[in-house]
Copies of this chain bind each other. A is one copy, B any other.
Amino acid sequence: MKTGLQLAIAGLGTVGAEVARQVISNNAHFQRQAGMAVTITAVSARDADKDRGFSMQGIQFCDNPLALASMDNVDVVVELIGGSDGVALDLVEAAIANGKHVITANKALLAHHGYMLAEKAEKAGVMLAAEASVAGGIPVLKTLRESLSGNQITRITGILNGTCNYILSTMQHQGRDFDDVLAEAQALGYAEADPSFDIDGVDAAHKLALLGAIGFGTAPSIGAVDVTGVRAITMTDMDNAQKLGCTIRLLAEAEKNTDGEVLMRVRPVIQPLDSQLAKIDGPLNAVTFTGEPIGAITAIGPGAGAGATASAVLADIVDLAVGRITPFFGIPASQLAAAPQRVAPQKEECYFIRLKVYDRPGVLADITTILKDHAISVESLLQSGRSDDGENGDVPVILTTHEVPPQAITAAIAELTELPTVLAEPVILTMGHA
């Protein structure tokens, strides 16, 4: 029986520093929960001298994070460096190879290398835990892996990227343009200087790949996720969504289709205002799990931020200390089914399409003829005056359709894009459900 747990923290950004502060300042509480002493014996960060709000007394500072993986007085490496490869991957592999437990918040690393790392951790008899990697403080991995273990999961839906959600909900409530809100999000620390990973949907896709793997018992597969980000969304789209009694949210969805294939998508969806997901504002995350026999449960909470993310890391530490060690994917990696391939959606859906067109006679006839050729039934068509960003007499045309097969939309959009009067890549959003 061990008498204590010795942690090394690699990366002392906002999350790493908060984890250290919590372990040190709430040590009595933490020790009661863990049933043993928990101490930080070593850390690694870019700057050794920065004051991070906790005392470095008794803590060894290492310039090289890899050093943490081989220290005798380290039982657990807490990897908070980030990135799918490079130092983070090297550190986690070295730690596992040396028989250290690993706790990380790194969704990119796990989406890309999770299968290999889980297999190595299980062979080495160490824990690989990453509650903080998906949905921040919301315990989605534990819920899916443990609390829903007796269920057949059929669907996982979520708002998994707080940056996109902050941008979209601020556009909705304040009527401000995408670029304006993005700049604000960057100033507030909700978005990175290079926001591509967030606003192009990559971050949400990493998280969805992990949820899909755990929920459906397959190896994780980034390549199977069809990703559309929010970069193309304008206030014209948001205004039109609101006219339809809806808003726009970036949804991540994984579901089993009728052939038992796993369909995973990240995409902006027109969401009815009275739906649960439409009410998720700001940097919140929300995840709904649907399965048999439970029905559906939804969890809502802070998807990012130092405190929420630290809370998830602390929970992994306590799980380890008390012996609640679970394979990362719920079942041993060796028992996972093969990673899913990307599959084309089959289910009919209703679509919202925005085209940027020359405001000239005949343009609507050209458009509606193409839609008719593909048997797409139009529910509404609106040529809505000059757009704010209009130039040279272009206007937005907003279409909504009845339920149509996705292949018909894809084919029609390809033809519409060829029209000389259609000026830019069309924006296509799916109409979501309550």
Chain A residues engaging chain B, CB cutoff 8 angstroms: 18, 22, 26, 29-30, 32-35, 131, 137-139, 142-143, 146-152, 217, 276, 279, 291-302, 305-308, 310-315, 317-319, 322-324, 326, 330-331, 335
Contacts A139-B147, A150-B315 given; does A295 touch B308 at CB 8 Å:
yes
What distance in Å separates the Cβ of A376 from its nearest Cβ neighbour in chain B? 35
Whether A150 pairs with B298 at a CB distance below 8 angstroms is: no
What distance in Å separates the Cβ of A271 from its nearest Cβ neighbour in chain B? 15
Give 7 pairs: A residue, B residue, CB < 8 Å, sorted on A. A18-B293, A35-B331, A131-B147, A139-B297, A142-B143, A146-B315, A322-B326
Other-chain contact of A311, B138, B148, B299 (Cβ < 8 Å) = B148
By CB atoms of chain B within 10 A, which of A26, A33, A142 has the most? A33
Whether A302 pairs with B312 at a CB distance below 8 angstroms is: no
Whether A143 pairs with B143 at a CB distance below 8 angstroms is: yes
What distance in Å separates the Cβ of A11 from its nearest Cβ neighbour in chain B? 17
In the bound complex, CA of A301 to CA of B276 (Å) = 12
What distance in Å separates the Cβ of A280 from its nearest Cβ neighbour in chain B? 10
Other-chain contact of A152, B18, B26, B324 (Cβ < 8 Å) = B26
In the bound complex, CA of A35 to CA of B331 (Å) = 8
What distance in Å separates the Cβ of A337 from its nearest Cβ neighbour in chain B? 11
In the bound complex, CA of A2 to CA of B358 (Å) = 73
Q: Which B residues are CB-close (under 8 A) to A138?
A: 297
Whether B295 pairs with A307 at a CB distance below 8 angstroms is: yes
Q: Which B residues are CB-close (under 8 A) to A22?
A: 150, 293
What distance in Å separates the Cβ of A217 from its nearest Cβ neighbour in chain B? 8
In the bound complex, CA of A5 to CA of B335 (Å) = 20
Other-chain contact of A308, B30, B293, B302 (Cβ < 8 Å) = B293
Given A137-B295, A276-B300, 15 new contacts (CB under 8 A): A18-B293, A26-B152, A33-B330, A33-B331, A35-B331, A149-B319, A150-B315, A293-B308, A294-B307, A298-B300, A299-B299, A299-B300, A322-B326, A323-B323, A324-B326
Nearest B-chain residue to A135, judged by Cβ: B297
Other-chain contact of A295, B151, B295, B305, B313 (Cβ < 8 Å) = B305
In the bound complex, CA of A317 to CA of B313 (Å) = 26
Q: Which B residues are CB-close (under 8 A) to A319?
A: 146, 149
In the bound complex, CA of A411 to CA of B49 (Å) = 60
In the bound complex, CA of A35 to CA of B334 (Å) = 13
Whether A301 pairs with B307 at a CB distance below 8 angstroms is: no
Nearest B-chain residue to A314, judged by Cβ: B150
What distance in Å separates the Cβ of A265 from its nearest Cβ neighbour in chain B? 23
Contacts A142-B142, A326-B324, A331-B32 given; does A293 touch B310 at CB 8 Å:
yes
By CB atoms of chain B within 10 A, which of A152, A217, A294 has the most? A294
Nearest B-chain residue to A32, judged by Cβ: B331
Other-chain contact of A149, B152, B302, B315 (Cβ < 8 Å) = B315
Nearest B-chain residue to A29, judged by Cβ: B152
